[in-house]
Amino acid sequence: MKKVLNRLTQYETLSEDESRNIIIEISEGKLNTSEIASFLTIFMIRNITIEELNGFRKALIELSLKINLEEYDLIDLCGTGGDEKDTFNISTLASFVTAGSGVKVAKHGNYGVSSSCGSSNVLESLGLNFNNNSNKIKEAVDKANICFLHAPLFHPAMKNVAPVRKELGLKTFFNMLGPMVNPTMPKKQIVGVYNLELARIYNYLYQQTDISYNVIHSLDGYDEISLTGDTKVYSRESEFILESKDFNLKNIKSDSIKGGIDIKSSSKIFMNVLSGNGSNDQEDVVCANASLAIAISKKISILEAFEEAKESIKSGKALKCFNDLINIMK
């Protein structure tokens, strides 16, 4: 590993195979924590290449515990995190709103590393038991339209990395990998990323697959549609700019989508929005993100999908999906 680190400090890059092999060595416990920390830090200093990211992705998929849900037309809504904006759990809420509209969702998530409260933190605090039992997960998709895949249960090989990431408390290339390694391998994805360079890399890699996708980045720095400014969207067919007026809305202020100061306050915001008691701005930003998933799944316009998302909350269907999931996973 010292030879690899020396090469990387000389601004060399890794091939796809080399990148894959290093992740496998980490999973086998062949690297100590100092070597892992050094390796992660290098990719905080310089941009990752497409070959490196693809090699890391292939290794994680190869080592993961997979769940066969091919019978369902699934979508995942997932952000990389790492945008340092401290918003509330928008993509997680958008997942339940999407499920409430009748779309089957396989939400992949984890505890927060570079943020104070990831999807797993808030859902665990609200009573969701994490499980990797395939029968339970299928029952959840059948009856609640949504399953939640807590990443550590499906990527046990990464147990050697988790403590180092937690101690660093910074975004690493594992933030980039999260949306790419959903163990159900859904054929549809909405992926939010924290900068434009990463959006372009994702777009390039996803063009090599059969996934229907939107890769999104708000041009003022968010890894989701924020409604605070314009959003760049990449899809298989095109790339375009989404504006608030495309949802018949006006731009909002960043303070209106701030998250809680801890897990308790974050969970309160989550339930308020899901129950239809959030602010107009909170509900609109969740529905804007859900609308991309609904539109790509139902092949309808984004504005039509936005109205379906609003109805999912108003009717209580999104909340019902959440409660059904909690009960099924007990």
All structural domains of the chain, each given as residue ranges with its CATH number in brackets, are: 2-63 (1.20.970.10), 74-328 (3.40.1030.10)
**Are 162 and 152 spatial neighbours (Cβ–Cβ below 8 Å)?**
yes
Answer for the pair 242, 282: CB distance below 8 angstroms, yes or no. no
- Over the stretch 178-225, which tens digit does the pLDDT of each residue have? 889 999 999 999 999 999 999 999 999 999 999 999 999 999 999 999
Per-residue pLDDT at 273: 98
Nearest to 209 by CA among 181, 231, 232: 181
Instruction: Determine the pLDDT at residue 263.
Output: 94
Examine the pLDDT at 82 and tell me if it is beyond 80: no
Answer yes or no: is pLDDT of 114 > 70: no
Q: In what order do the strands lie in the sheet with 212-218?
A: 146-150, 104-109, 74-79, 188-192, 212-218, 231-235, 239-242
Question: What one-letter code names the amino acid at 33?
Answer: T
Tokens, residue 22 = 């290093």
Q: What is the pTM of this model?
A: 0.94
Q: Computed from CA positions of residues 109, 26, 187, 214, in that sequence, does the dihedral angle turn out positive or negative?
A: positive
Look at residue 115 in the predicted model and tell me its pLDDT.
67
- Residue-wise pLDDT tens digits, 282-299: 999 999 999 999 999 999
The H-assigned helical ranges of 78-171 are 90-100, 119-125, 134-144, 151-154, 162-168
164-182 pLDDT tens trace: 988 888 888 888 888 899 9
What band does 148 get if pLDDT is binned at 50, 70 and 90?
very high
C-alpha 204/C-alpha 91 separation (Å) is: 23
Mean local confidence (pLDDT), 251-265: 95
Q: Specify whether the CB–CB gap between 144 and 287 falls below 8 A.
A: no
